[in-house]
Amino acid sequence: MNPRKMEAKELIEKLKEEHNEIPALIDDAILTYQIGNLSGAFPVIAQVREVIAQHTIDEESTILKILLDKLGKDNSKEYIEIFQQHVQITKAVDAAVESTYTGWTETVNLLNNLKQMTAEHHKKEEEIVFPKVLSLL
C-alpha cells in the first residue's frame, strides 16, 4: 500500500471524512456479526483493516513528515506520541480479524474496543495534529 498522492489540505479533509466513516464501518461489522451473518462480517472487518492501514500510511508519510520537516523531531514530540497510537490501533484491528478465525467469541468486544480507541485517537488528530499542520502550510 502506498501513500495517496494528495496535497496536505486535501489529504486532511479526506482523513477527516475517514474519521467519520471508520466508526460506521465498525458498527456495520458488529451488526452483521450480531445478526448471525459471519461470512458477511468478515469482509466488513477486512475493509476496516484496509481503510485504517491506508489512513495510517497517509498520516505517517505525509502529515507526520510535514511536522518533522517544519518543526524538527524535538519540537514534534507531542505529535509523534499521537502517531505512535497507530501501533495499538493496528494491533486492535489484527486482534479483531484474528478473532474471526478462532470462533468469533471476542469479536464484538474487540470491535467495540477498536471503535473507542479510534474515536479517542481521531479526536486528538483533529484537535491537535491537523490544526498544527494547517498552520505550517
Express each pLDDT in 78-116 by its tens digit: 999 999 999 999 999 999 888 888 877 888 999 999 999
Residue 55 CA to residue 22 CA, distance in Å, equals: 10
13-48: per-residue pLDDT in tens?
999 999 999 999 999 999 988 888 777 888 888 898
Residue 115 CA to residue 100 CA, distance in Å, equals: 17
Give yes or no for a contact between 64 and 83, defined as CB atoms under 8 angstroms apart: yes
Residue 4 CA to residue 27 CA, distance in Å, equals: 26
Q: Say what the pLDDT of residue 32 is.
A: 87
Residue 67 CA to residue 59 CA, distance in Å, equals: 11
